[in-house]
Amino acid sequence: NWSLPPKKWLEKRDWPHWFSHIFKNVAMTRPGGARERFLASEIAREYSYDELFEISVENQLENLRMEIDKIRLHDRIRGFVITESSDIFWECNGLLTFDRDFKFPPERLGALLENDLFVASLESDTLWLGQEARLLVRLLKRLHGETISVESDGLSIERRIDGLEGETVALSLDTSSMSEGVRALTVRVGRAVSTVPLLVCKRGETKLKLIKTSKSGPSEPEDNTVLVLERAGMNVGISPYSARTVEKEDLLSGDWISGIFWIVKDLSPFAPGGHFRKCHGGLIAGRPMIESEGFSRRLIGITYGWLAGFYGYLDMLEGHRFVTTMNIDPSTPQGNLLLRQLETLQY
């Protein structure tokens, strides 16, 4: 996860002997100056250094959970070993420090590894409030007469569960009593626990106007509009704002759940704690990023090299105007909820 090193590394003076190593033609970024780069960034308007560090670790744990679930669902993989939890970029990535200390309570990793009974997922992780949620539970062992429980905001059920190894058991969940926003479903069988994110949205009218464009050049969108940039290679100017859209390549390739976070705390119903969850993934899948300056607020992005570089997906301008490359559709729960959240923001 591209984020910040622990504070203690900022005080170190003895660099590792391998620090001058060039990895794929990319030099490593020294931790010296990370605090200054953080304070000079727009992120410091919303989060403290420690808060951003905690968000990055939490996002990594979520990403690790998804990767472990993928391995467990593979029919021909019978086990796995985690050999490293940090990488060559010296604390940019990883769940361990280079002192081999955990960046989080180690029991959190234990909970991820101890669940050898099931893998839980949702048939759809974005729903309208009142829609039925279908929870799919893939059994990793034979279960007979066990109790499965599902708990969340406004939701609590228990069921008896029986099935053979490899079978998938479906549970129907009533979302009508849940609150709008991104909610965590905690699924439990005995000591085995899994947490699955679900985005629930009330059907509501959106006031912001969407304008989609593939044309570069100066633009003067009206107030209360969302300008959607449809392709990479675009240059847009809305004085004093300027932006260009970039394809995700090399170090920025892929839609890294662990590398993306919501910068603005005001969006907490849509993105609790700033964490980017799997249910947000449809907004950015296959979409380019924005390199920009002159915005009032940057709302979502990916930072790398300890804030040596930053790309976004959604910027806010004065006049309640927004520029984005995201796939925002008000007819979908995630698009509708996001637009109504944007209406409440102040610049």
What pLDDT digit, counting tens, does each position of 178-194 carry?
Answer: 999 999 999 999 999 99
Could you tell me the two tokens for 211?
Answer: 């304008």
The domain ranges of the chain are: 7-114, 118-201, 209-342
Residue-level pLDDT at 285: 87
Give bridge partners of residue 36 from the DSSP assignment: none
pLDDT digits (tens, 9 = 90+) for 103-150: 788 888 888 888 889 999 999 999 999 999 999 999 999 999 999 999
Position 47 confidence tier, pLDDT thresholds 50, 70, 90: confident
Output the pTM of the full model.
0.86
pLDDT confidence band for 337 (50 / 70 / 90): very high
Q: Residues 209-239, buried b or exposed e (16+ Cβ, 10 A)? A: ebeeeeeeeebebeeebbbbbeeeebebebe
Distance (Å, whole) CA 299 – CA 178: 26
3-class secondary structure, 91 = coil
Mean pLDDT, the chain, rounded, equals: 85
Does 15 have pLDDT greater than 70? no
Does the pLDDT at position 3 exceed 80?
Answer: no
As a whole number of Å, the CA-based R_g of the chain is 22
> How would residue 1 be classed by pLDDT, with cut points 50, 70 and 90?
very low
CA 63 to chain centre: 9
CATH number, domain 118-201: 2.60.40.2950
Could you read off the pLDDT of 265-285 as tens digits, one per residue? 889 899 998 888 889 989 998
